[in-house]
């Protein structure tokens, strides 16, 4: 396994370097709502860019660039103490139309252990806050959104730990909680901190429900090599191809690039029409 990993890493670096001249191509292409609902995941690195500057306005502008209907953020609050939120929520609503999924027990934070879900429209049917096991303070946020046409789906926003053992424990807890809920279309997205494949990967723990997601390098933002950020669904065909949002501003605003995909609304409607979920 060690030899295989050492061979794969240089190959991914070379691929990233070769693709560098084409970076940003199509990044500003407007999303066509007819294609489905645009969702995204973004580790905002506490609004500190690769230049070392704390700049929440810059982070907010990247979020506006993406133009997602639903976006999960990681590291959107300070990590310790009162866990103060770092974004201007009034600006977010005014400039992007996005509102945060409400969480309880956090007076000044935007989310739960740094995880925030913003949505453009719909009704929040349920919110479940998970404190994940492990040595680090990690969490996940689960919510169910219902839309005008009556379709609905569940979103799990997560930020898993740096230790492999913790990631396996955290993945198992997410699945245990998910199994205790009604079955419905579900998307899991966030910074899973997992670059490994093979037997030791925590992605294998998630695979029975979510399959193995395609690896889309998103870290580090200047020259992406590792696929730490993931978007995956519990049903084949529910989401489209996952891509990075790779723009000059996104490369600067965080050490992670945002990733994004489209939820196929036809799949959600078909699920409702057949009475599933």
Residues 193-251 have pLDDT tens digits of 998 877 889 999 999 999 998 899 999 999 999 999 999 999 999 999 999 999 999 99
Beta bridge partners of residue 71, listed in sequence order: 40, 118
DSSP character at residue 209: H
Percent of the chain topping pLDDT 90:
67
Task: Please state the domain extents for the chain.
Answer: 34-273
Q: pTM for this one?
A: 0.88
Tell me the pLDDT tens digit for each residue of 60-77: 999 999 999 999 999 998
Q: Which fold has domain 34-273?
A: Deoxyribonuclease I; Chain A (3.60.10)
Q: What distance separates the 2 farthest-apart alpha carbons in the chain? A: 52
Grouping H, G, I as helix, E, B as strand and the rest as coil, residue 10 is helix
Residues in Cβ contact with 68 at an 8 Å cutoff, skipping those fewer than 6 apart? 38, 39, 40, 98, 118, 120, 260
């Amino acid at each position: 396994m060690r030899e295989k990993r050492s061979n794969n890493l240089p190959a991914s670096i070379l691929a990233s370097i070769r693709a560098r001249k084409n970076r940003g191509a199509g990044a500003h292409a407007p999303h066509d709502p007819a294609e489905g609902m645009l969702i995204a995941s973004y580790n905002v690195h506490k609004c500190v860019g690769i230049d070392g500057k704390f700049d929440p306005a810059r982070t907010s502008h990247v979020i506006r660039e993406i133009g997602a209907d639903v976006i999960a953020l990681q590291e959107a609050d300070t990590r310790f103490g009162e866990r103060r939120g770092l974004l201007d929520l009034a600006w977010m609503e005014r400039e992007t139309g996005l509102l945060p999924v409400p969480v309880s027990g956090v007076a000044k934070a935007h989310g739960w252990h740094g995880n925030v879900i913003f949505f453009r429209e719909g009704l929040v049917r349920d919110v479940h806050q998970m404190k994940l096991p492990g040595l680090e303070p990690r969490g996940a946020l689960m919510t169910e959104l219902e839309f005008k046409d009556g379709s609905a789906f569940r979103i799990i926003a997560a930020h898993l730990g740096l230790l492999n053992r913790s990631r396996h424990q955290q993945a198992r807890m997410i699945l245990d909680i998910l199994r205790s809920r009604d079955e419905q279309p579900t998307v899991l997205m966030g910074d899973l901190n997992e670059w490994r494949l093979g037997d030791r990967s925590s992605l294998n723990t998630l695979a029975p429900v979510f399959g193995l997601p395609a690896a889309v390098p998103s870290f580090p933002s200047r020259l992406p090599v590792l696929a730490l950020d993931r978007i995956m669904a519990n049903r084949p065909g529910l989401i489209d191809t996952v891509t990075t949002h790779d723009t000059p501003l996104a490369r600067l605003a965080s050490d992670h690039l945002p990733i994004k995909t489209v939820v196929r609304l036809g799949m959600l409607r078909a699920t409702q029409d057949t009475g599933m979920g």
